Amino acid sequence: MGSTFDMVDLIRAKRDGRRLTNAEIDWLIPAYTAGDVGDEQMAALAMAIVFRGLDPVELTTWTEAMIATGERMQFTGLTRPVVDKHSTGGVGDMITLPLAPIVAACGAAVPQLSGRGLGHTGGTLDKLEAIPGWRAELAPADLFRLLDQVGAVICSPGPGLAPADRKLYALRDVTGTVESIPLIASSIMSKKIAEGTPALVLDVKTGSGAFMRERERAVELARTMVGLGRAAGVDTVAYVTSMSSPLGRAAGNAVEVDQAVEVLNGCGPQDIRELTLTLAREMLALAGIDDDPAQALSSGRALDVWRAMIRGQGGDPDAPLPRARHQRVIEAPRGGVLTRLDALAVGVAAWRLGAGRARKEDPVQSAAGVLWHAGIGEPVEPGQPLFTLLTDTPERFERAEQALSAGWEIGEGPVDVEPLVLERVAG
């Protein structure tokens, strides 16, 4: 049996700037997970970490201890090389939906264990649950079978992966201790390392609609996660990408599935295609596969994998998606060029229409969301539809419009459009 420590001593130590020892962390994390350390004490320590941080040794030990509270998945029996992707979340960020089948169509196995949305950022599982019959929960045997036969699975992680993170994440969410790079990095990477993938590509968003609004902090988070991955033997590369404006032309659940299918049919918004193919090329390089993801898209191979993936999880890829019972169109008051479209404003509007949730247990409306009909730098005519708001509950329109009202501007062109990919971090 390991040493037992006084939790108050650990809180004081971190409050005063002392690093926690490996033995202290290795006691703390399982003790908290088991309920031997109270939420109020862990909340105090988390707040001390917000202000004092964790150094690289502390952070590696903290992450390993979180992993050790649960099981570790193994993909050694698969005939395909395994590679995964994780996004820190944004508005219109449905990249996983076309990306997983594209990479699988090139010969990789993509075990995409995804989450649900909270606040203005959408959740991949919420989007896919708009497809009739599709289910997020898979038994391990079904997950491995689909990975081997189809190549791609998008599902919810089982409760056995890093249970310490599930408990600590819920605590941080209600104690104002979310905004800590070490705590964010250990939360994401404990689950990804426990997932057992040997290669991982991270998409770290920055801008108004992202969790990390400042680019410098996004780069720091990317470097921290890459360091954790590589220390654990996971070949990890991160991209820092712009989320000042929303991706694509839709924010919601069914509307983003619609857009993913457009991309898989060789169409869809240019920014979605660009980012999807950039991440796909990196994933394939890490997996050691020499194939062109653009060709997998244009040939229809990726669409075939998508259909097989949806069917494999109980869904009907041919079934009509839910459509909102009510819609409201916002028209351009004047002509010119769309000079600004704020990702946060669009995300909050979609959330207020019912596409997102304020608490984890809240339901979402599959059909709710926002469509925008012009991108930054594009010309608009007076009276042209700028946005379409979608919901099943029309009393939501007013507050959604309020959220959107200050989120866009029409001016004179031209506009300097920020690059989508800002930085690649590989070590």
**Contact (CB, 8 A) for 20 and 45:** no
Per the residue annotation, which of 86, 120, 205, 281 is the catalytic one?
86
Domain of residue 12, residue span: 7-53
pLDDT score at 224: 97
**Residue 346 sits in the same domain as residue 399:** yes
For residue 417, give every residue at least 6 positions away whose Cβ sits within 8 Å of its Cβ, in sequence order, or none: 376, 377
**Residue 24 falls inside a structural domain:** yes
pLDDT score at 77: 85
Per the residue annotation, which of 52, 85, 127, 172 is the catalytic one?
172
Per the residue annotation, which of 167, 191, 352, 396 is the catalytic one?
191
Question: In this structure, what CATH number is given to the domain that contains residue 252?
Answer: 3.40.1030.10
**Residue 297 sits in the same domain as residue 153:** yes
Q: Is 361 exposed, middle or buried (0-12, 13-18, 19+ CB in 10 A)?
A: exposed
E-state strands within 243-298:
250-252
**Residue 65 falls inside a structural domain:** no
What is the percentage of the chain residues whose pLDDT exceeds 70?
97
**Residue 78 falls inside a structural domain:** no
Model pTM above 0.85: yes
**Residue 277 falls inside a structural domain:** yes
**Residue 377 falls inside a structural domain:** yes
Q: Is 120 a catalytic residue?
A: no
Q: Is 217 a catalytic residue?
A: no
Report the pLDDT averaged over residues 152-178: 88
Report the pLDDT averaged over residues 265-273: 95
Amino acid 167 reads K
Q: Is 86 a catalytic residue?
A: yes
Neighbour count for residue 198 (Cβ, 10 Å) = 15
**Residue 293 sits in the same domain as residue 180:** yes
Nearest to 241 by CA among 86, 44, 78: 86
182-236 confidence digits (pLDDT tens): 999 999 999 999 999 999 999 999 999 888 899 999 999 999 999 999 999 999 9
What is the percentage of the chain residues whose pLDDT exceeds 90?
84
**Contact (CB, 8 A) for 336 and 412:** yes
Question: In this structure, what CATH number is given to the domain that contains residue 334?
Answer: 3.90.1170.30
**pLDDT greater than 90 at residue 160:** no
Q: What six digits make up the tokens of 225?
A: 């996660």
**Residue 45 sits in the same domain as residue 93:** no
**Contact (CB, 8 A) for 165 and 66:** yes
Cα separation values, 284 from 44, 100, 126, 280, 291, Å: 43, 11, 27, 6, 7
34-49 confidence digits (pLDDT tens): 999 999 999 999 999 9
**Residue 306 sits in the same domain as residue 239:** yes
328-337 confidence digits (pLDDT tens): 999 999 999 9
**Residue 343 sits in the same domain as residue 226:** no
**pLDDT greater than 50 at residue 263:** yes
pLDDT score at 286: 98
Q: Residue 1: which pLDDT band, with cuts at 50, 70 and 90? A: very low
Q: How far, in Å, CA of 195 to CA of 189, rounded?
A: 9
**Residue 308 sits in the same domain as residue 359:** no
**Residue 354 sits in the same domain as residue 285:** no
**pLDDT greater than 80 at residue 385:** yes
pLDDT averaged over every residue in the chain: 94
Q: How far, in Å, CA of 184 to CA of 397, rounded?
A: 34
Report the pLDDT averaged over residues 368-387: 96
Q: Which helix (H) or strand (E) holds 68?
A: helix 56-68
**Residue 236 sits in the same domain as residue 93:** yes
**Residue 60 falls inside a structural domain:** no
**pLDDT greater than 80 at residue 121:** no
User: What's the half-sphere exposure (Cβ side, CA atoms, 13 Å) at 194?
Assistant: 26
Q: How far, in Å, CA of 416 to CA of 419, rounded?
A: 9
Q: Is 172 a catalytic residue?
A: yes
Most confident of 160-164, 206-210, 402-406: 402-406
Per the residue annotation, which of 180, 186, 187, 244 is the catalytic one?
187
Q: Is 326 a catalytic residue?
A: no
The domain total for the chain is 3
**Contact (CB, 8 A) for 257 and 130:** yes
Q: Residue 118: which pLDDT band, with cuts at 50, 70 and 90? A: low
pLDDT score at 76: 83
Question: In this structure, what CATH number is given to the domain that contains residue 39?
Answer: 1.20.970.10
**pLDDT greater than 60 at residue 6:** yes
**Contact (CB, 8 A) for 94 and 270:** no
**Residue 305 falls inside a structural domain:** yes
Q: Residue 2: which pLDDT band, with cuts at 50, 70 and 90? A: low
Q: Residue 119: which pLDDT band, with cuts at 50, 70 and 90? A: low
Q: Residue 64: which pLDDT band, with cuts at 50, 70 and 90? A: very high
pLDDT score at 120: 64
73-117 confidence digits (pLDDT tens): 988 889 999 999 999 988 999 999 999 999 999 999 999 988 776
**Residue 16 sits in the same domain as residue 96:** no
**Residue 18 sits in the same domain as residue 145:** no
**Residue 340 falls inside a structural domain:** yes
276-305 confidence digits (pLDDT tens): 999 999 999 999 999 999 999 999 999 999
**Residue 241 sits in the same domain as residue 339:** no
